Amino acid sequence: MLIRKFLLAAAATAVFAGCAASGGSSSGAAAEPAVAAAAERLRVAMVDPTPAALRALVSDDLSYGHSGGKVDTQASFISDLLDRKSDFVTIAITDQTIKVVDGNTAIVRHTLTADTNDSGKPGKVALKILGVWQKQGGEWKLLARQAVRLPS
C-alpha cells in the first residue's frame, strides 16, 4: 500500500512537472493544427477568392500591411482580391512557424512566394509574412498581417 501511494505521488509530480515545463497548458500546441488549417484556407482563398471564404477567415478589424506600405481593411482586402487588383495566380508557403500565445491569439510567420497578375500585369513576389490570428466565435481569423520584401 505504501509503495502504491509513493508511485502515485511520483506520477503526479511528473505530470505537474511536465505541465510546468510546457507553460502550464497544452492548449497552445493543441490549437496549432487549427491555426495552420485556417492559414491554409486563407492561402487557397487568396488564389481563388470568394466573398464567403474570405469573410470567414479575416476579422472585421483586419489591418493588412503590404510590403509597399499600403494598409488594407477587411473591406479593401476582400474587394481588391475579388476585383483582381490583387490577383494571386499561385501562392507557395514555406518555413511556416506558429506560436499560440494564449489560446485565443496566434503568431504565424512564413515565407510567401507567388505568381501574380495584379490588374492584368504578370509578376512575382517573395515576401516574409507576419500574421496575427485571433479566435473569434470559435474560429481562427486573421486580425493583422504585415509583409516585408525579401532582399533581391
**Which tens digits make up the pLDDT trace of 114-142?**
999 999 999 999 999 999 999 999 999 99
Query: Do residues 91 and 47 lie in contact, with contact meaning Cβ atoms separated by under 8 Å?
Result: yes
Q: What is the pLDDT of residue 21?
A: 38
Torsion, CA 50, CA 51, CA 57, CA 62, rounded to 10: 130
- Domain residue extents for the chain: 31-149
Indicate the CATH number for domain 31-149: 3.10.450.50
**Which tens digits make up the pLDDT trace of 106-116?**
999 999 999 99
Order of strands across the sheet that contains 105-118: 71-72, 58-65, 139-149, 121-136, 105-118, 88-100
Which three three-digit cell numbers place residue 39?
492559414
**Which tens digits make up the pLDDT trace of 3-50?**
444 333 444 333 333 333 344 344 688 999 999 999 999 999 999 999
Which three three-digit cell numbers place residue 118?
495584379
